[in-house]
A and B are shown apart, each in its own frame.
Chain A
Amino acid sequence: MRVTFTVNGRPQEADDVWEGESLLYVLRERLGLPGSKNACEQGECGSCTVRLDGVPVCACLVAAGQVEGREVVTVEGLADYAKQRAEHGGCASGACGTADAAAGTPLDEARRRAARGTDSHTGEGTELSPIQQAFIDAGAVQCGFCTPGLLVAADEMLERHPNPTDADIREALSGNLCRCTGYEKIMDAVRLAAARQSEGV
């Protein structure tokens, strides 16, 4: 079957989709967006977290056919999404009518997306969202496999709670497993992003 939906603000079409296929498979294997990671395939690990109509979900548990006509944001579109949200006062999804044709992340650009940083500075044309920059600066990335899901979940939490407590952070990230960091650096990163956000940096 064919599935037509919006990915990172741009309309996309996936063909020859198997009826039992997950949104995660469509994103990774049909649209060439491997940022959302495939780990447990049972909703336990959160590595595949994306936003579906603004809400964080595990892409491995959404049937491809269920996203027909809906809006998905992946980690590849996170920087543009956060930028638009900052520019349009809290709404990045276009639901409040501010989205224009130039908004969103084109598919080819999303496919090339990479954080090309050698140290805490990323530079080289790849603009990062505040939460992505904070993860790098705080050393919250080790093997990196859980990072995309954590970024999407943490970014959404900061949207709802601009000044989160530690309990807010832990709760929002409770569906994302990390086996490297012990979570402390991830907590640091989210606190850092929140602090920078409230300072307007």
Chain B
Amino acid sequence: MDEPGPPHTIWLDRNHSETTETKKRAGQMDFLRPASWEEALAAKAEHPTAVPIAGGTDVMVEINFDHRRPEYLLDLNRVGDLYEWEVGEETVRLGASVPYTRIMEHLRPELPGLALASHTVASPQIRNRGGVGGNLGTASPAGDAHPALLAAGARVEVESVRGSRLIPIDDFYTGVKRNALAPDELIRAVHIDRADGPQQYSKVGTRNAMVIAVCAFGLALHPATRTVRTGIGSAAPTPVRAKAAEEFLNAALDEGGFWDNGRIITPSVAKQFAELCSAACNPIDDVRGTASYRRHAVGVMARRTLMWTWESYRGDAARTEGVA
């Protein structure tokens, strides 16, 4: 008969040191809790693989489902500056962690497109936690804020211990869930141009709440520069602008004197604008929708948001200048 040996001890190597590898195998993680922005930058410099977590609405899903086991979680909840915003003369500096709920409540006059987009994010519980910094960090083509940021015109303020820089939103998205951040950089704020005209946002989904966009569209009129800007979500590997459509519309509005006479936009102009927006898409077929449906829906949203914003512009112009 076997002698009853001491349980367990034979399997435990007491001399084995806890290397990073064994920590990883055991699913161990370090939770870094910087108390200030400077501490956060220092932590990110020391551990470039650290995953920043603020609202946690993306990161925690991946951890809960064991899709991701980062070695370090970098908690940004203690960095108070990230929850603040400043309204300047021409731009709003929006802290990366300002929750969508706050944007909807406090920044609708300055950032109407982003406020509308914020309202389409998931549910109240998610909007209370998530912010634009997380949308940018994740850089999913389906992130709800992106079309509004592209249409309004924005710059992403990123920083590392090496210094700070502003990345134009057009250069920020570099691929599917990829952005222009260096490994040691963190997103601090977004500088968004204050609305100088009507803005709209439209999103296609199967229901009103808790929906990832099948596709989304943002449009901003900029009467100050007599330009129109667009943003398309979920219809290309990255969020994109429909630049050819913008150029066409800018020229058509200019030629017809529309900005001055405030006339209704000709249906043929709206139709061509919509077609060019569809053409700017490079969508895929997936569980949420087919590529051809996305292209079609983006065209419909482009035409509708143009009509809505233009009606609003004409109304404003009629009130303030007597044009109609």
Contact = CB atoms under 8 A, between A and B. Distances in A.
Interface of A: 1, 18-20, 22, 41-44, 46, 49, 55-58, 60-63, 65-66, 68, 153, 171-172, 174-177
Contacts of B124: 56, 153, 171-172, 174-175
Nearest to B208: A174
Contacts of B73: 19-20, 63, 65
Nearest to B99: A55
Contact of B53 (A1, A44, A55, A63): A63
B31 interface: yes
Interface in B4-43: 27-31, 33
Contacts of B206: none
Interface string B101-129: 00000000000000000000011111011
Interface of B: 27-31, 33, 53, 55-57, 59-61, 63-65, 69, 73, 75, 77, 122-126, 128-129, 208-210
Contacts of A171: 124
Contacts of B122: 43, 175
28 contacts: A18-B27, A19-B28, A19-B73, A20-B73, A41-B61, A42-B64, A56-B124, A56-B125, A56-B128, A58-B57, A60-B64, A61-B55, A61-B126, A61-B129, A62-B56, A62-B60, A62-B129, A63-B31, A63-B56, A63-B63, A63-B73, A65-B33, A65-B75, A66-B53, A66-B77, A68-B33, A174-B209, A175-B210
A64 to B, nearest CB: 8
Contacts of A46: 123, 125
A174 B210 contact: yes
Given A65-B33, A175-B210, 9 more contacts: A1-B31, A43-B126, A57-B129, A62-B56, A62-B60, A63-B59, A63-B63, A65-B75, A66-B53
B75 A43 contact: no
A166 B210 CA distance: 19
A57 B125 contact: yes
Contacts of A63: 31, 53, 56, 59-60, 63, 73, 75
A37 to B, nearest CB: 14
Contacts of B56: 61-63, 66
Given A61-B56, A175-B123, A43 B61 contact: yes
A22 B57 CA distance: 12
A20 B24 CA distance: 12
A56 B59 CA distance: 19
A68 B129 CA distance: 16
B135 to A, nearest CB: 15
A26 to B, nearest CB: 13
A60 B60 contact: yes
Contacts of B208: 174
A175 B126 contact: yes
Nearest to B76: A66
Contacts of B29: 18-20
A177 B123 CA distance: 11
Nearest to A50: B125
Given A41-B61, A175-B125, A19 B31 contact: yes
Contacts of A65: 31, 33, 73, 75
Contacts of A68: 33
Contacts of B59: 63
B125 A58 contact: yes
Nearest to B68: A20
Contact of B125 (A1, A18, A43, A66): A43
A62 B64 CA distance: 11
Contacts of A1: 31
Contacts of A66: 53, 56, 75, 77
B61 A42 contact: yes
Nearest to B55: A61
A69 B27 CA distance: 25
Scoring A49, A58, A68 by chain B CB atoms within 10 A of each residue's CB, the highest score goes to A58
A23 B32 CA distance: 17
